[in-house]
Structure 1
């Protein structure tokens, strides 16, 4: 948690409650900070977790034509079909841990015939443009992607969801994430660019060279939305919108790995209050993610060397979030022992 909250009566009461539990002071470590954060998000001493969701946004990237990924762009379409069929890692982990999954096509280069209660079509266009040649999105397309995220969050909020995680699927999307990280943190691009889904040394060098060229091309852009439109992705923009709306609705936000955190960086630039709603679920194996978390001054719950995306870190970390709330609500106090 980024503990930027000033001392106030509610914070003091929650801290006192945690400190008075039947344990040594601070003995539950990060879980205590997590319980405090969730209680403050909900503005109550007795928080509840209701109808948790993971929303996975999918979109293709024109930049994939430049060979910046170890996998072909067609894998995005295949994986969304896998989500719909219930066979992906995120399906398994959501089922295991009691989260509802919602998958949204905001920009996949393909048409889906399959239907499912958990699949939503909100396609802005069939993939972004090649940002090496022209901006990935127009301003209107970027805004439409944000609106898709906001709409889906409002939909799950209407179904009494108060905690939502965000995942993504889009071959090539570690490249826009690295570019957004570079622009939002000011860190050198070399610290932001990694192997993605498994590039070799030559592939990594090529990827870095292409991204340096793109960063120079759009170096004149300063507004967060302009940067997002030029160098982002449709699924990343949808996550930005979803995070902004979740914070507006007073919801807890579960942040997945490298891609989702790049969206969080943009969302924070648009509304700094988003950060206080965000739980960082894990530190991924992607090179830049540790630097992202360090720049945000936050601690992740898990470190499992994941590099899958899909929101899998959110689903895996959720039992720890449940444990923090259960501790605050149900654990006995020292007073009760006397």
Structure 2
């Protein structure tokens, strides 16, 4: 299987004229300039990305990618790997946080199962069977994924982007589920940014202080082993080394959405790491990304800094699943409504600020 074209070809850049039109509209609405703060700037950003003076967020697609991790053999999670398969069923039956949020938002929700150690019941509603292997390999001993597996995961992400485009999606949210994936994400982030795992490793599913230290030590050892591979900061090599079927699929979905001119609302730590991979591969993806929230995971701020990103919310969340991004959607919808429906000074007969 070859890599998707979105992984090898830069996306087009948004047209500046739509940003300018939206900014002009903001300048004549009945309010002091800048008085709505980031609600103004994010509305202008969405208008520019959607190629319209008046943006909308009626069609929101949420794709949750799930997969298990071989690094769990090193005892880096407070939960057993069986939870990944159990949570896939919970998503399908509507009991997970992202399921509740998707219903509340009237958003499309799909779950893409890329491979779990425990069996997943067949024909679960809303679950796409895209199994690559039961889990990635243990990256403390070998590469987490083969080149073929990386390609498969990227293509599954790109397919999600195509489904979103086919539905007329105006905003894409990627989520993840996979016991052990904060360890994989931290190894990827440390490799790409040359950071110390002791600074970036966090509790993930709820590890105590000793557990977090052990996680960091496992990552340090793995980074030292893979340094001998001379991979440098190559996104593909880093992804192959430290894995995450769901992280690779997220990177593929982010690249695929940018290639199809779909804005992407980035969730927390793990999705931000996937975005870092995608932007490292194709820097022109960056303008298509909005950032929803600052995760309580300690490594998230470093990744946000690397992406020059300032998230909309800081609620102390660290659940994953795309939940933080989903929580930000009402804020974005309100920003669009204000931008689209407020009267201009001329329409309302309100005097503008006098020229100084």
* Superposition TM-score, scaled by structure 1 size: 0.95
Q: 1:179 touches 1:192 (CA, 8 Å); kept in 2?
A: no
**CA positional deviation for 1:67:** 0.6
Taking the aligned partners of 1:283 and 1:153, their CA distance within structure 2 comes to: 24
Task: Look up the SS of the partner of 2:299 in the other structure.
Answer: helix
Q: Cα–Cα, structure 1 residues 201 and 327, in superposed 2: closer, same or farther, change >3 Å?
A: same
Partner of 1:173: 181
Q: Cα–Cα, structure 1 residues 210 and 160, in superposed 2: closer, same or farther, change >3 Å?
A: same
Alignment of 1:259-274 (within 5 A): 259-274=270-285
Gaps of 5+ in 2: 1-12, 350-356
Partner of 2:300: 289
Partner of 1:207: 215
Partner of 2:145: 137
> C-alpha offsets along residues 44-79 of structure 1, whole Å, 9 cap, x if unaligned?
212222421110000000001101111111111111
> C-alpha offsets along residues 11-32 of structure 1, whole Å, 9 cap, x if unaligned?
3332121122111110111111
Taking the aligned partners of 1:97 and 1:296, their CA distance within structure 2 comes to: 28
Partner of 1:195: 203
Partner of 1:84: 92
Q: 2:145 touches 2:241 (CA, 8 Å); kept in 1?
A: yes
Q: 2:14 touches 2:49 (CA, 8 Å); kept in 1?
A: no
Q: Cα–Cα, structure 1 residues 54 and 329, in superposed 2: closer, same or farther, change >3 Å?
A: same
**Deviates most, 98-107 or 41-50:** 41-50
> C-alpha offsets along residues 116-155 of structure 1, whole Å, 9 cap, x if unaligned?
4411000111110001111000011011000001012101
Task: Look up the SS of the partner of 1:77 in the other structure.
Answer: helix
Once superposed, which parts of structure 1, at least 4 consecutive aligned residues long, lie more than 6 Å away? Answer: none
Taking the aligned partners of 2:109 and 2:93, their CA distance within structure 1 comes to: 12
**CA positional deviation for 1:179:** 1.2
Task: Look up the SS of the partner of 1:287 in the other structure.
Answer: coil
> C-alpha offsets along residues 140-198 of structure 1, whole Å, 9 cap, x if unaligned?
10110000010121012112112110000000100111111112223332222111111
Partner of 1:303: 314
Partner of 1:74: 82
